[in-house]
Structure 1
Amino acid sequence: MTSKTYYSVSEVTQYIKSMLDTDSLLSNIYIQGELSNVKYHYSGHVYFTLKDPFAVIKGVMFKSNVNRLPFRLEDGLMVTVRGYISVYEPSGQYQIYADAMKKQGTGDLYEAFELLKAKLDKEGLFDPSKKKKPPLLPEKIAVVTSATGAVIRDIIHVLSRRFPNFHLILYPVHVQGKEASGEIARALRVINDKNLADVIILARGGGSIEELWPFNEELTARSIYESRIPVISAVGHETDFTIADFVA
């Protein structure tokens, strides 16, 4: 390497932070967007993502400001956030430090979720009497999920303990993105047409409402409902709810 002046990661990050901190626009800015990935920390601080159709920005609101809010922050809310933009040095990430927030209404995805949920409920797709019960000791279990990652390993571990002699059929699909819902529907159809399993597990790990959206699409919901083979929804964490959960 040639002889020249080099800077440490900390020095570059501190320089960028100083540029943002002294910018008159960014020191007191109003940003409108949709809340996502809202996390209430035990400290009382709230972490969130603010997004529009084209970009996202991370954000934090400290406890003292959270306590002054007249509403609870939730995924899907359209809000106007007032605060300043700075860099959180340990992660090298710029974010908005919010000191005030005003609710505008519900975001597009949340509204779409509620509309489809109401529609399918009215049609009877959530009727408990129409749900297919899985057998107590299934011999063939199909898992529809990503071929890689912790989810499939966890499922195999749990199933191996509960059903030592079961036969696993893994049907790999995308579990997020535009193509995911179509792939899930096709997987359910093939497994039914070929009678490949006694029960189907539809699975993926947790994520934001955007990442879980294929499991909130009408095509996925109707494919689960029309499946002759019982479908178990194992999507997201315990706090995540999808349309697939209501149908399965």
Structure 2
Amino acid sequence: MSTKPFLTVTALTKYIKRRFDDDSHLQEVWIKGEISNFKLHSRGHMYFTLKDENARIQSVMFAGANRFMKFKPENGMKVLVRGEVSVYEAYGQYQLYAKEMQPDGIGNLYLAFEELKKKLELQGFFSNEYKQPLPSVPSRIGVITSPTGAAIRDILTTLNRRFPIAHVTIIPVLVQGENAAASIAKGIEQANEIGKFDLLITGRGGGSLEDLWPFNEEIVARAIFHSNIPIISAVGHETDVTIADFVADMRAATPTAAAELAVPHIEELIERLKQHKVRLIRSLRDQTTYDQERLRRLQKSYAFRYPEKLLVQKEQELDRLFESLQKQATHLVHYKQERLTHLRKRLKQQHPFEQLQQAITRKEQTTRNLDRAFTEIKKGKEFALQTYLSKLGMLSPLKVMERGYSLVYNERDKLIKSVEDVKLGDRVQVQVKDGQLDCQVWGLEEREQ
């Protein structure tokens, strides 16, 4: 049996799933195909197969992703699906996890929508940094839409019901068709040129993706972005989302909702003004009562009743304070003078010339100490040297020879210590204190021990 380690099915499947999940090409794919084996689960999840003439792939679209779909998928329907490819570990098969689905007939528009959305997002068109706040109580409102559609009726009705004192101007534009995008952009530019509006509302009623497409055009997005007047976008129904909604300063789900966001309810404003009036009257009454009471206390005060006596007391107090001020000033001057004298003394001690003199004095003292120490050390060393020389002299052979002794060497300059070191006829050298004698051995006599 082979000794190689075996993988479990679970481990192998997990490894394959990680390889799928790490592949960036599989994280976002657009797939075109035909739906088959469609099944809608009771929890809202959709299970189906996408196929073409040569292959098929199992797919799932969870309830959170299909909640706002505008059509119901059916078997045999051609669709465009955006999602990611991964592995379902329980069955060990790869499948498509759909995030978005559109009928194939309008797929090109959705691709164009996504492409423009990414482009403008990278350029900062959707950033909150550039969003303008809406005025709390606009007095002049411009409505940029078709003058004959249902949207303008809803907007005017809501504005008149909530805030009838607002002045509303309709700027008629095309909201559908080939020239609609340019018409909407021109209407926004005209409103800015007029320069009398506090707020703009642009939008239209519901419709298909093709009907709403002018609000997905780049020219409209740029006109909204460069507008100096805050804009509310109100395109279609709540589930309809356009490029204009992302760029506008505020998005409303419907034209009616846009009118509600644009103005407050006049009855609420009136009620608020009444409350402010009541609070203002109460505040004025309380302030008046407080001031009257304060005036009565002042009228009864000692200063108000006897001003001359108070003046005399204040003059005496002034004299006392003046004397105290003089004493404190004298004490302060004296303290500052003492402080100045002390600082001058310290400054003199720290003066470079003083420090130099002190350094010279320390140097001379150090020199004298060194000379004295060197002399004492020298004397001690000389005495020790003489002692060592005396001891060395006592051990020197020269001293011994001065007392009549001599040293005898053979011809090899080896010291002769015994008669056994020579024989008759050998030449020897005899060292005496003042020289050397060359001799020859003529006789040998060994002394008894």
**TM bucket, shorter chain:** 0.5 to 0.7
Change (3 A) 1:103 1:171: closer
Question: Would you say the 8 A contact 1:207–1:236 is kept in 2?
Answer: yes
Q: Matched residues in 2 for 1:120 and 1:175: separation?
A: 22
Q: Matched residues in 1 for 2:200 and 2:113: separation?
A: 24
Aligned to 1:193: 193
Q: Matched residues in 2 for 1:177 and 1:139: separation?
A: 32
Aligned to 2:130: 130
- Structure 1 residue ranges, 4+ long, deviating more than 6 angstroms after superposition: 73-77
Q: Matched residues in 2 for 1:206 and 1:104: separation?
A: 23
Change (3 A) 1:104 1:118: closer
Q: Matched residues in 2 for 1:71 and 1:208: separation?
A: 26
1:207-226 aligned at under 5 Å gives the runs 207-226=207-226
1:246 aligned to 2:246? Answer: yes
Aligned to 2:76: 100
Q: Matched residues in 1 for 2:240 and 2:155: separation?
A: 18
Question: Would you say the 8 A contact 1:76–1:109 is kept in 2?
Answer: no
Aligned to 1:113: 113
Stretches of structure 1 lacking an aligned partner (at least 5 in a row): 1-33, 36-60, 82-97
Aligned partner letter, 1:201: I
Three-state SS of the structure 2 residue aligned to 1:200 is strand
Greater Rg over alpha carbons, structure: 2
Question: Would you say the 8 A contact 1:142–1:196 is kept in 2?
Answer: no
Superposed CA offset, 1:112-158 (max 9, x none) = 11111111111111011211112111011000111112211110111
Aligned to 1:169: 169
Q: Matched residues in 1 for 2:247 and 2:131: separation?
A: 8
Aligned partner letter, 1:115: E
Change (3 A) 1:75 1:109: farther
- CA-based RMSD of the aligned residues comes to 2.8
Structure with greater helix percent: 2
Q: Matched residues in 1 for 2:129 and 2:81: separation?
A: 35
Aligned to 1:55: none
1:21-170 aligned at under 5 Å gives the runs 65-67=38-40, 69=48, 70-71=59-60, 99-101=75-77, 103=79, 105=81, 107-170=107-170
Q: Matched residues in 1 for 2:184 and 2:109: separation?
A: 20
Change (3 A) 1:76 1:198: same
Aligned partner letter, 1:167: H
Superposed CA offset, 1:206-239 (max 9, x none) = 1111111000000000000000011100111000
Length-normalised TM-score, structure 2: 0.35
Q: Matched residues in 1 for 2:77 and 2:149: separation?
A: 37
Structure with greater strand percent: 1
Aligned partner letter, 2:76: A
Q: Matched residues in 1 for 2:80 and 2:113: separation?
A: 18
Stretches of structure 2 lacking an aligned partner (at least 5 in a row): 1-31, 41-46, 49-58, 83-106, 249-449
Question: What is the percentage of aligned positions where both structures have the same residue?
Answer: 47
Three-state SS of the structure 2 residue aligned to 1:178 is coil
Aligned partner letter, 1:151: A
Question: Would you say the 8 A contact 1:146–1:174 is kept in 2?
Answer: yes
Q: Matched residues in 1 for 2:80 and 2:166: separation?
A: 51
- Which is bigger in relative contact order (C-alpha 8 A, separation at least 6)? 1
Question: Would you say the 8 A contact 2:149–2:205 is kept in 1?
Answer: no
